[in-house]
């Protein structure tokens, strides 16, 4: 038996890529097509060894990149619906913090630093509705402070030093770390607790060292950094929505009471 053409196709079965080889064989003047259940022998004799050793997901295609990412994302979103009560507690704590005239602080590294700045901006500016600005600070933005503290005290202190300087009893600190073990975020949570701040942790599965330092822990049930970050920003947006609605409702009630 000889192969005239061989076509490889990638399929996903429960998110795991499977390679099926469809080969056209011919003997004499008769042609027929068959699907090989396994193409191992053919692959080893035809393709370079290093090709076979590379995971299928390292060869970009719609199934291995887009479909898998979308499917995993939706699974994570579905999983965090079980934490709606926790998110409500966090939202109420944040709203209460702002209604007392206190502030919300945020910190994280890399993408989590970006989330910190993003969510602080939604609170200071606005999320969906017109209202007055509310007090929120990302501890990730002042490069002079960050570099000075890192140079003098080490990178582990870049957030905790700011908590010491800016944090007041009644404030709330949100620490964001997909692993839950970022040392500078852990140090910031420790400093916050020592100064009477409420603490919220945004982490991945398990919570890491941040679990024991967070009054409220939103731990995304995943170890995939990208999926965790997507869940963090979704939760952050929902919290901003709650804060804004709560603030506007409280002010309407106050205005109504004053008018009476």
Phi, psi of 65 (to 5 degrees): -105, -65
What pLDDT was estimated at residue 252?
A: 65
Q: What is the pLDDT of residues 100-152, one digit of tens each?
A: 999 999 999 999 999 999 999 999 999 999 999 999 999 999 999 999 999 99
User: Do 43 and 105 belong together in one domain?
Assistant: no
From the list 256, 241, 238, 193, the residue with the least C-alpha distance to 86 is 238
Residue 87: other Cβ atoms inside 10 A: 17
What pLDDT was estimated at residue 256?
A: 58
User: Do 213 and 165 belong together in one domain?
Assistant: yes
Provide the phi-psi class of 38: left if phi over 0, else alpha when psi is between -120 and 50, else beta: beta
Using the 8-state DSSP alphabet, how is residue 157 labeled? Answer: G
Ranges of residues in the chain whose predicted pLDDT is under 50: 1-56
User: Do 42 and 170 belong together in one domain?
Assistant: no
Residue 132: other Cβ atoms inside 10 A: 8
User: Do 247 and 155 belong together in one domain?
Assistant: yes
What pLDDT was estimated at residue 18?
A: 42
Number of domains in the chain: 2
In a domain, 184, yes or no: yes
In a domain, 155, yes or no: yes
Cα 10 from Cα 197, distance rounded (Å):
52
CA angle 185, 141, 109 (to 5 degrees): 35
* Residue 207 in tokens: 């919570």
Using the 8-state DSSP alphabet, how is residue 43 labeled? Answer: H
User: Do 98 and 162 belong together in one domain?
Assistant: yes
| DSSP per-residue string spanning 207-256 | -GGGGGG-SEEEE-S---HHHHHHHHHHHHHHHHHHHHHHHHHHHHHHHH
Secondary structure of the chain: what % helix, strand, coil (to 5)? 55, 20, 25
User: Do 54 and 119 belong together in one domain?
Assistant: no
243: Cα separation from own chain's centroid: 20
Cα 159 from Cα 185, distance rounded (Å):
7
208 exposure class (CB count in 10 Å sphere: 0-12, 13-18, 19+)? buried
User: Do 49 and 133 belong together in one domain?
Assistant: no
pTM of the prediction? 0.75
In a domain, 74, yes or no: no
What pLDDT was estimated at residue 67?
A: 94
User: Do 121 and 225 belong together in one domain?
Assistant: yes
35 lies in which domain range? 2-59
Cα 123 from Cα 133, distance rounded (Å):
7
In a domain, 230, yes or no: yes
């Amino acid at each position: 038996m000889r192969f005239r053409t061989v076509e490889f196709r990638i399929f996903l079965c429960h998110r795991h890529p499977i390679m099926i080889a469809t080969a056209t064989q011919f003997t004499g003047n008769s042609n027929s097509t068959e699907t090989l259940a396994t193409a191992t022998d053919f692959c080893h004799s035809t393709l370079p060894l290093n090709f076979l050793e590379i995971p299928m997901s390292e060869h970009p295609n719609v199934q291995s990149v887009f479909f898998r990412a979308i499917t995993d994302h939706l699974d994570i979103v579905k999983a965090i619906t079980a934490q709606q009560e926790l998110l409500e507690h966090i939202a109420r704590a944040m709203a209460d913090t702002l209604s007392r005239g206190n502030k919300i602080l945020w910190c994280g590294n890399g993408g989590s630093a970006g989330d910190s700045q993003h969510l602080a901006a939604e609170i200071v500016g606005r999320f969906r509705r017109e209202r007055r600005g509310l007090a929120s600070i990302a501890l990730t933005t002042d490069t002079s402070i960050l570099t000075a503290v890192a140079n003098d005290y080490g990178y582990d202190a870049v957030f905790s030093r700011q908590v010491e300087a800016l944090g007041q009893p009644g404030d709330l600190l949100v620490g964001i770390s997909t692993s839950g073990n970022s040392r500078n975020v852990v140090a910031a949570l420790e400093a916050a607790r020592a100064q009477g701040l409420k603490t919220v942790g945004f982490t991945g599965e398990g919570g890491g060292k941040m679990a024991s330092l967070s009054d409220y822990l939103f731990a995304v049930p995943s170890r995939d950094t990208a999926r965790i970050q997507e869940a963090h920003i979704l939760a952050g947006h929902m919290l901003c929505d709650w804060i804004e609605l709560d603030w506007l409702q409280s002010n309407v009630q106050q205005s109504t009471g004053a008018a009476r």
